[in-house]
Amino acid sequence: MDPNERPPPTLPPQEQMRQRRLAKLGGLGSSASTDSKPQEASKSGSSTSTSTPDAPPNQTPTNQENTRPTPLPTRPSTTVSQSQTASTNPFSQLGTKSKSEHGKIANAGSATPSKKVHITKEESLEDWTNRVLGDIFRVTLDETKTTDNRGFKLTYLPDLRAELEQSGDPIKLTTASVESALLEAVRHLPTTKPILDYLLPCWKRVVRATKPPRPLPPEKEAVVNEAKRLCMSNCIFALTMPELFSRAPNPNHDTLVPYLLRHHDNEDGICMDFFAEATSRIPEDDTVASVFTDAMVAMSTKLATMTMNDDYKPYVNCLVTYSKFPPLLNALAQHPRFLATATPDMSKEQIALSSETSTILGPFFRISPLQTEVTRVFFAGARTIAPGHVKSSQSALQMTLKAHQGDLVGIINSFVRASATARNATLDWFAFALNTNHKRRALQVKSTEVASDGFMVNLTAILDQLCQPFMDSTFSKVDKIDVDYLRRSPRVDMSDETKLNADQATADAFYKTHVAGSSNFISEVFFLTLAAHHYGLGATQSKLKDLDKDIKYVEGLIKKIEAELPKLQNDPFRLPAARQHHENAVNTIEKYIALKYTIEGVVLDECMQTLSLQFMRYVSVWLLRVASGVDYRPAGGKEIKLPLPADKPDAFSCLPEYAIQDVVENFKFIFRFKPQILVSAVGDEIITFCITFLRSSEYIKNPYLKSSLVTLLFSGTWPVYHLSKGILGDSLSSSSFANEHLLHALMKFYIECEHSGVSSAFYDRFNIRYEIFQVIKCIWDNNVYQEQLSRESKVNRQFFVQFVNLLLNDATYLLDEALTKLINIHDYQIQLHQSQQLGLSPEDIEKIRTELEKAEQQCQSWMQLVNDTISMMKLFTTTLRDAFTMPEIVYRLAGMLNYNLESLTGDKRSNLKVEDAKKYHFDAKALLSDFVDIYINLKSKPTFIEAIAADGRSYKPKNFQKTSTLLREKFFKSKEVVDDWNSLCTLVAEAKQRLDQAELDLGEIPEEFEDPLMGELMTDPVILPSQNIVDRSTIVQQLLSNPLDPFTRKPMTIDDVIPADDLRNRIKEWKTERIAAAKAKASGGDAMDTSDD
């Protein structure tokens, strides 16, 4: 009876479940046909059995088994009978069982086995289907067959056999029955074993079956493809609908996680074919995506608890595999856990950490050598570790981190390219991480309240990589960076950042004006990367300086404790506490040193810093374009004209300060630690950048930010390798832009830093000016700069006078401070040597030592600045004699020189003698020689000679004579120098005699003719805004140092004074009368009366 004609039986629950699953799969009508004809069955598949009632009588099960070809594994067996001849097809003998069976076949046909050729019967499609499906799913309908021909255990399916017998169908596996076979096979699995433990190996086998050495005929290919489809469907149902297999949901079983973490090649691992097949079903089956996204969320959550010390690589490899399939990335990007979501009950600290620990990508970016547990592994015993071992450990961690960051770059690139949705979600993720971690740049930061260094450094490095495609050496795409990005609902939040040159209200008003349009990807990544450098890599690099201070402090603490321990040996109460303090201090410094070594290893990676440098070059060029409004490019663009326009662009003024700060800090860091990458990587843009914003310093409000530009130029002049003038020295000398603008820019800022409005500016300015001197020294060999300075003194006289006046102020102050500290050191050293004679107590001695150390530190700083300031004056006076003998300058210069000549050669010079003077950068011989050179440089100017002689406070002929003796007998100066000095002494002495006589001739000066501030005769009286009258030279000197009316302290300039012409004429007349009277007296007494009585 035809099975189709039977009344439909009442389906058991198991079969009903199967039918529901088939309906879920989209219909298998043709495959589910119960037609029992062999031809019908051959279209949908066949089964294999070692014993079948339909087999011919003369065909034994053994012969059937030995004559079928074996499709699995894909590498076919080539074992054949020894009686096989060279002409026999080797593939007809694949899958033979034993040598004895071959013998039986050969002997049955011929008495001469060696010449008998074995002929294989062609296997029917039904048998092939039965065999292949049985091998794939390792099931059988033959109760006597417990293993396959490779020895793998087979699962006997009695229920399916009974069903086939009842229906009268062949007892063979077909595509119509394989679904029931799978269901029954799973039922035989222990409930403690996940279903995927069985199905995934089946999948691997079916995949191999679809890739045979030879192409399969269409009917066989259809069988294998159907098996593949059903296997994948059941894998998905096993994860999403375990109840279809009569199992209760089990989170430990209903997940892909353990299989994803295994290698692709493992039998129970997830291979690429599985990914491809599964993702192809995502558009039709919405449960597939959730299977993979939930697995990734679970793995990300687990990874958040791991460090680089743990086995993190399988997790990363899994996400790398995901990244090869855009549908999976799209699904991840839309998952609720992809982005962190701040809730009202979360603190700021929790929000800051959420991107790192509570998002899908966060834990992958968190893996880093900078994790505390990892630093201690790389640098165990950091306090005593050998330098060579430190270097090798740093190299090892760099390689490890580079490989990890390479994986992260590939992952992020795939997200960006997957779809617009995934790209936007990825950019949102970066932005949230940055926007919630502004506190990383606060003065006081707790590491537990912000994202970790490792996370933020990885984030910066990957963003740098995203910028690579548009950062070419010609800056051809710099115009793609849209300045209006920040007014188009930008992802980057900089509302709480200090702006370059705008207050908060101005910036808010500017950004409140929305600009229509959308921002391009280049602009998005550019501003994200700029912020990442500030809050990420930049914040981590800045920790090195703090760590050095912390390490030094704890080292001092350890020394103090160790010094106290011997004294506490007999104190049972304090000794344990002291030992505990010592142990804590040692552990702390071990942690600090290990962290320092690790940070150095991470941030000093040459590849990372090269990318960072390239990005900062782009930032500097972009900032110059925004500020100048010019299409500037280092090569091929328009040149920037200085000074910049007086009207500062709002788009520039409202930028955050870190736009410039990041550039400067990055370059300074590389100059210090990795100068080799700058040799071939830096162009003119960094020189143009520094000069432009120093020349037009009003574009930047923060004085420290402006001074950092000087520091950057100074750093570029440090000798490096074969470059005696540093990375920038030669460029500063040869650049036409620098030749035209550098010197004026440096002088301008030298003046500007005098009044920065910052409490510590008084001391900071000396450091700034020291750096300015170093840059000028570097370029001074170029005559262009010497000529330019001379031109400044003539064309821009007031500007130059102001510059030289401040130079004299600095020299005077620094010399006074430095020499005073030397005298203090001299006194302290004598007291310590004579402590016993003086009867000093230990407490007194300790106090003196403390004061001595303090004086030594201060003297070292002041003396170094003195040497550079005097050196600069010597340099300038060699070339600019006229400039330094202008009336506004010459008297102050002469007074400063005379005063310090007295200190170095006068009666109290012995007070400057200290032990190890070089320790304090003090060389009396060199310093006095510099003073002598300055005197001689200006000797030819009569105004200078007169100014020396007119210095009533410090000019002493004996000091000049003492100097002459020292030059000749102690310093062994050349005859030319000694003769020049003696000639100077003669000229000054003569001038002094003339001035003394002139003073006697004038006699007592009327009070109305005296300068109220200086007490001297006025020659050019002027009326101040306060209506007080002073000499012009006096108010000029006053305004050079302080632009205020000396009587009312109100701001004023030299243009505010009014010449007192009437008073000046009266002074002139009085002076003429007094001189005439003096001459008459000198020639013969009072004028003789010759009149007659």
More confident residue, 43 or 1064: 1064
More confident residue, 803 or 529: 529
328 close to 280: Cβ distance less than 8 angstroms: no
Element (H, E) at 1023: strand 1021-1023
Residue pLDDT, tens place only, 99-111: 333 443 344 444 4
Residue 120: per-residue pLDDT: 57
Residue 128: per-residue pLDDT: 95
Q: Which residues contact 918 (CB under 8 A, 6 or more apart)?
A: none
Element (H, E) at 826: helix 797-833
259 close to 245: Cβ distance less than 8 angstroms: no
95 close to 63: Cβ distance less than 8 angstroms: no
Element (H, E) at 912: none
What b-and-e string marks burial along 839-853, b requiring 16 or more CB atoms within 10 Å of the CB? ebeeeeeeebeeebe
More confident residue, 539 or 1080: 539
Distance CA 176, CA 339 (A): 46
Closest C-alpha to 700, from 749, 750, 629: 749
Element (H, E) at 893: helix 887-905
Handedness of CA 281, 283, 286, 290 (dihedral sign): positive
Q: Place 756 in a pLDDT band, splitting at 50, 70 and 90.
A: low
Helix (H, G, I), strand (E, B) or coil at 1022: strand
Region 2-21: what's the mean pLDDT? 48
Residue 952: per-residue pLDDT: 86
Residue 54: per-residue pLDDT: 37
More confident residue, 824 or 82: 824
Region 196-212: what's the mean pLDDT? 95
**CA separation (Å) from 823 to 820, 829, 921?**
5, 10, 15
Q: How far apart are the first and last CA of the chain?
A: 183
Q: Which residues contact 39 (CB under 8 A, 6 or more apart)?
A: none
Distance CA 697, CA 748 (A): 9
Tell me: pLDDT of 912 over 70.
Answer: yes
Tell me: pLDDT of 1093 over 50.
Answer: no
Tell me: pLDDT of 47 over 60.
Answer: no
Residue 109: per-residue pLDDT: 42
Handedness of CA 231, 235, 238, 240 (dihedral sign): negative
Distance CA 528, CA 539 (A): 15
Residue 1036: per-residue pLDDT: 85
Average pLDDT of the residues of the chain: 86
What b-and-e string marks burial along 236-260, b requiring 16 or more CB atoms within 10 Å of the CB? bbbbbbbebbebeeeeebbbbbbbb
Distance CA 678, CA 621 (A): 17
Residue pLDDT, tens place only, 943-967: 999 999 999 889 999 999 999 999 9
Distance CA 13, CA 245 (A): 11
Region 581-593: what's the mean pLDDT? 94
Residue 16: per-residue pLDDT: 54
Region 335-350: what's the mean pLDDT? 91
Residue pLDDT, tens place only, 811-870: 999 999 999 999 999 999 999 999 888 888 888 998 999 999 999 999 999 999 999 999
Residue 65: per-residue pLDDT: 34
**What does pTM read for this prediction?**
0.81
Q: Place 357 in a pLDDT band, splitting at 50, 70 and 90.
A: very high
Q: Place 18 in a pLDDT band, splitting at 50, 70 and 90.
A: low
Out of 521-525, 874-878, 966-970, the most confident range is 521-525
Tell me: pLDDT of 777 over 90.
Answer: yes
88 close to 54: Cβ distance less than 8 angstroms: no
Q: Which residues contact 1036 (CB under 8 A, 6 or more apart)?
A: 801, 888, 1054
Percentage with pLDDT > 70 across the chain: 87
Residue 793: per-residue pLDDT: 87
Q: Place 89 in a pLDDT band, splitting at 50, 70 and 90.
A: very low
